[in-house]
């Protein structure tokens, strides 16, 4: 009888701070079939450490939060398996996606894979307006990809050779209620200040202020009208209106930082 093919080992890398609501769902979806779970925590005050340990995760504290990209690279660096599955604490691997991942680990066709992400906004899974398929590079051979630092708040792995594509969804419980959405957008707009400031360093204050209105309007029209965001119903309207406001915040925060830098000392 021929030997059954064996798959390469797999680590989950994750950062999580005060994620007790999300961690049980996320870890339950990978527990028992991945070889290692590594979580870097920058000082949770809730039950996140206990939940992580209950699923056998290697739970590492790093109280000096260095930004999402930097934290993710720390987590990736602590993994020991052949392959790494990079997850956010509010992302869930579906059984169908798990089957694709395991098949790829038995006979990999490339060193990194995209997977389509389905995003929850309040009470609706969003499928239009540029929110789907929202492909994310999440599975890669250890050492093949790295998260670019100083390039915005989110932290996306970069791999510049041929990549594979999965068909099944990674579920993102990103914005289960409106208050959560507003908290995230405020955090992300502040976290993007440095990178956006570098891109706008030659722009005048008046141009930045003008762009703070023109760019959000363009984004709203593109995503809600031309990319069919209106097909996501009332949630689509609420999301795209407020995402335009989020774009406005990013420009205004750069504009404010410029003005504060030359504020006279009285």
**Per-residue model confidence as pLDDT tens digits over 171-221:** 999 999 999 999 999 988 998 887 788 887 788 999 999 999 999 999 999
**DSSP per residue, 65-87:** ---HHHHHHHHHHT--SSEEEEE
Reported as type and span, the H/E element at residue 121 is strand 117-121
Backbone angles phi, psi at 6, to 5 degrees: -105, 145
Can you give the pLDDT at residue 4?
A: 60
Whether the pTM exceeds 0.85: the reply is yes
Backbone angles phi, psi at 127, to 5 degrees: -125, 10
**Class of CATH domain 10-175:** alpha beta
Q: Average of pLDDT values for 5-30?
A: 94
Query: Bridge partners of 85?
Result: 12, 139
Can you give the pLDDT at residue 151?
A: 59
**Per-residue model confidence as pLDDT tens digits over 67-82:** 888 899 999 999 999 9
Position 125 confidence tier, pLDDT thresholds 50, 70, 90: very high
d(CA 145, CA 143) in angstroms, rounded, equals: 6
pLDDT reading at 152 higher than 70: no
pLDDT reading at 241 higher than 70: yes
**Per-residue model confidence as pLDDT tens digits over 71-121:** 999 999 999 999 999 999 999 999 999 999 999 999 999 999 999 999 999
Among the residue ranges 34-43, 45-54, 166-175, 189-198, the one predicted with the least confidence is: 189-198
Domain span(s) for CATH 3.90.550.10 in the chain: 10-175
Can you give the pLDDT at residue 1?
A: 46
d(CA 117, CA 102) in angstroms, rounded, equals: 18
| Angular region, 246: left φ>0, alpha ψ -120 to 50, beta rest | alpha
Q: 69: which residues sit within 8 A by CB, 6+ positions away?
A: 147, 148, 149, 150, 151, 152, 154, 155
Per-chain mean pLDDT for the chain:
91
Position 265 confidence tier, pLDDT thresholds 50, 70, 90: low
């Amino acid at each position: 009888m021929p030997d059954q093919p064996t798959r390469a080992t797999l680590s989950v890398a994750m950062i999580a701070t005060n994620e007790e609501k999300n961690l049980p769902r996320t870890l339950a979806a990978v527990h028992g079939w991945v070889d290692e779970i590594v979580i870097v925590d920058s000082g949770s005050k809730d039950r996140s450490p206990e939940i992580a340990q209950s699923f056998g995760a290697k739970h590492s504290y790093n109280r000096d939060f260095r930004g999402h990209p930097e934290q993710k690279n720390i987590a990736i660096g602590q993994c020991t398996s052949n392959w790494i599955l990079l997850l956010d604490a509010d992302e869930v691997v579906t059984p169908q996606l798990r089957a694709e991942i395991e098949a790829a680990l038995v006979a990999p066709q490339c060193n990194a894979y995209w997977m389509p992400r389905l995003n929850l906004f309040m009470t609706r899974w969003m499928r239009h307006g540029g929110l789907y398929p929202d492909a994310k590079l999440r599975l890669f051979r250890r050492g093949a990809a790295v998260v670019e630092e100083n390039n915005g708040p989110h932290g996306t792995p970069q791999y510049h050779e041929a990549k594979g594509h999965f068909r099944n969804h990674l579920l993102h419980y990103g914005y289960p209620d409106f208050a959560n959405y507003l908290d995230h957008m405020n955090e992300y707009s502040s976290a993007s200040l440095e990178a956006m400031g570098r891109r706008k360093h030659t722009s005048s204050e008046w141009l930045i202020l003008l762009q703070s209105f023109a760019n959000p309007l363009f984004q709203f029209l593109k995503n809600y009208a031309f990319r069919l965001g209106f097909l996501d119903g009332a949630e689509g309207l609420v999301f795209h209106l407020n995402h335009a406001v989020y774009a406005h915040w990013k420009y205004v925060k750069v504009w404010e930082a410029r003005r504060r830098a030359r504020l006279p000392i009285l």
